[in-house]
Amino acid sequence: MSKLILPTLFLLALMTTPVLTTAADQASTNPLLAPSTLPYQTIPFDKLKDGDYQPAIEAGMAEQLKEIDAIANNPAPPTLDNTIVAMEKSGELLQRATSAFFAQAGANTNPTLEKVRSVIAPKLAAHRDAIFLNPKLFQRVSALYKQRDSLKLDPESLRLVEYTHKEFVHAGANLNDADKEQLKKLNEQIASLSEGFSTKLLAATKDSAFVTMDRAPLAGLTEADITAAAEAAKARKVEGYVIPLQNTTQQPDLVSLTKRTTRETIFKNSWERAERSNANDTRETISKIAQLRAQKGKLLGFPNFAAWKIEDQMARTPEAALEFMGKIAPAATARAAVEAKDIQAVIDQQKSGFQLQPWDWDIYADQVRKAKYDLNQEQVKPYFEMNNVLQNGVFYAATMMYGITFKERKDLPVYDPEMHVYEVFNADGSPLALFYTDYFKRDNKQGGAWMGNFVEQSKLKGTKPVVVNVCNFAKPAPGEPALLTSDDVRTMFHEFGHALHGMFANSQYATLSGTNTARDFVEFPSQFNEYWADYPAVFQHFAKHYKTDEPMPAELAEKIKKSRTFNKGYDMTELVAAAELDMQWHTLAPTAPLQQPDEFEKAALEKTKLWISYVPPRYRSSYFSHIWGSGYSAGYYAYLWTQMLADDAYQWFVEHGGPTRANGDRFREMVLSRGNTQDLETLYEKWRGAKPSIEPMLKYRGLQAETGGNGK
Ligand SMILES: [Zn+2]
């Protein structure tokens, strides 16, 4: 289960300095121009108009450049306060405007906002460059960096000095002027292509929905699913039924649709969504992005883009990431081969007379699951009513482990009427954060699920975290309850793990706060939090029938538990395949010609023995938005890397008495509250008492016992 979190746009992000130049009359028409007066300085969505964003973002860039200029040209010798802390305080308006904008553009967009996004993307890239490639500013940062040991800084300030210096060097601050110009050009081109990719993909995904005039092809779906498909058609003002695509290769309804032709069509719609040789075909865009990124890597002194990108991550080199994947892939594909055999046996038993194809996997796997574990998702869903899972599962586990409590607030504005806002309190009753939920799928929402910050925590600026979780759960027909699948339940726990990481942030500086950590660390708290979804003491508390409030029968619960490692060969293989694609696109040599994406993809997967007819990658290159449209380029392996951390961390809890308050508080204190204020490897090892081990991952993901001797 891979999830997105919103990319942090500004390493130098910032919030409490008063706006310098805002006239009161302007502020009265554009709410972004003044600090929010709402509790926790949260976003006044009710007052924002589509036309407010672009002027506020542009004014914010201009304002920050002025502030940066003043810092760079300060005649006084550099100090922590007049340079690094001053940078940390700069850009308040820009941060406020982009937080509000990207919240809406990601989850609640429209053609106007899409246009704003494509206009500002290259400008924001240029803005970052104007800061990181400012030679006078870099001189001051560099001077402080060189004196850092004699400055007697507190550990977090020392970390900020080191981190800031590293980011400057990473961004190209050491380049000569001509190379800097070249880099700026590359960054703008890449940003613009990347925006183009996102816009095309959103349209391509919408266009590739399955549409049918009559309900015969929908055989196998429940009445509620069919009503939802009819509602989706109505929303689009078309006749009949519409099944929209999710952003992954596999589609949720393929588990239930009994007509093989429908499944094949939906699968092919998904697989080919962005390869239709029309205006929304992304192939040319991604080959160009890959080529420009390779050139960027070279310009910055690295053999390829990935080497540059991973330099500041926990893994540090593409080789380390590839080696790690190389350890998992054989175990995963061997397990997937066993699963495929079980599935083919069911197909043959029924004398269906065909070879297993990817569009058959889910429905027949579900039959294997039923035969082996007698587990049916439709039996399970009535026990997972959405709000109940949130209150009595997700919140309950957090109260158990961390003592925090939640109180719904109806007085704060939202951008969609179905959102909810909760105020979160510490065990001692002190206010901690605001937590928003935006759970239902909409056509104007990006696919997947993610966590974002409306406001970042910083003691320097006196801000507490304001956090949102966005998902794409199926919206029920009017009057029907929202029933989640067991995957949805895990997604909810996952995103809430990010939310905890954001809400427990306790840093001086926003740059080092909460989820602003390395990509191969940031998915650790979220994947770790998934574990409590089936932990008995938590599970029994929320898994109750929405009509009768009866607890889930023990046999059914036991089946879910037993089936936890079910299909893990497939799951892990599709994930490793996607991660390999990402890494191979981004280890292309700078001299490599433009690639033909389909050929490249096939060759890349064949080379790593991951080209498997029945297990396509979780994302195909042409709709792999993590790596082309958001910040996960050369970083998708991070999901697997952080699985290792999550599983290893869970193992620690198992060995130390489970999710007790004492264990929770220790984890909060030593890991979740620390953001990026310490070296992450050290931070982890200090909490764990050892280096992370891959063994719990192989064990908990069901890849250990049955794969021995079968891997190659
Ligand atoms: Zn995540």
Write out pLDDT tens, residues 61-81: 999 999 999 999 999 999 999
What's the DSSP call for residue 391? Answer: I
What's the DSSP call for residue 550? Answer: P
**Tokens linked to 220:** 């196998």
* pLDDT at residue 258 tops 70: yes
Cα gap 198→192, rounded to integer Å: 10
Span from the CA of 281 to the centroid of ligand 1 (angstroms) = 27
SS3 per residue for 128-149: HHHHHCCHHHHHHHHHHHHCHH
Span from the CA of 530 to the centroid of ligand 1 (angstroms) = 10
- Average per-residue pLDDT in the chain? 92
Average pLDDT over residues 502-512: 98
Span from the CA of 494 to the centroid of ligand 1 (angstroms) = 6
Task: Please check whether residue 346 is in contact with residue 364, taking contact to mean a CB–CB distance below 8 angstroms.
Answer: yes
Q: Specify the pTM.
A: 0.82
* pLDDT at residue 586 tops 80: yes
Span from the CA of 496 to the centroid of ligand 1 (angstroms) = 9
Task: Please check whether residue 54 is in contact with residue 116, taking contact to mean a CB–CB distance below 8 angstroms.
Answer: yes
Span from the CA of 594 to the centroid of ligand 1 (angstroms) = 32
Q: Residue 515: which of 642, 673, 630, 633 has the closest Cα? A: 673
Cα gap 499→465, rounded to integer Å: 9
Torsion 199-201-205-208 (CA) sign: positive
SS3 584: helix
Cα gap 257→253, rounded to integer Å: 6
Span from the CA of 519 to the centroid of ligand 1 (angstroms) = 10
Report pLDDT digits (tens) over 348-372: 999 999 999 999 999 999 898 888 8
Span from the CA of 51 to the centroid of ligand 1 (angstroms) = 31
**What's phi and psi for 435, nearest 5 deg?**
-130, 120
* pLDDT at residue 254 tops 70: yes
pLDDT in the model for residue 26: 52
Number of Cβ within 10 Å of residue 445's Cβ equals 18
Task: Please check whether residue 353 is in contact with residue 493, taking contact to mean a CB–CB distance below 8 angstroms.
Answer: no
Cα gap 117→638, rounded to integer Å: 27
Task: Please check whether residue 469 is in contact with residue 449, taking contact to mean a CB–CB distance below 8 angstroms.
Answer: yes
* pLDDT at residue 18 tops 60: no
Write down the residue that tokens 């009559």 correspond to. 214
Q: Which residues are catalytic?
A: 495
Q: Which residues contact 644 (CB under 8 A, 6 or more apart)?
A: 324, 692, 693, 694, 696, 697
Report pLDDT digits (tens) over 478-502: 999 999 988 899 999 999 999 999 9
Span from the CA of 220 to the centroid of ligand 1 (angstroms) = 31
**What's phi and psi for 553, nearest 5 deg?**
-55, 145
Alpha carbon 482 to its chain centroid, in Å, reads 23
End-to-end CA distance of the chain: 25
Under the banding of pLDDT at 50, 70 and 90, the label for residue 635 is very high
**What's phi and psi for 53, nearest 5 deg?**
-70, -55
Average pLDDT over residues 444-469: 96
Q: Residue 31: which of 14, 56, 57 has the closest Cα? A: 56
* pLDDT at residue 49 tops 60: yes
CA separation, residue 147 to residues 144, 150, 245 (Å): 5, 6, 55
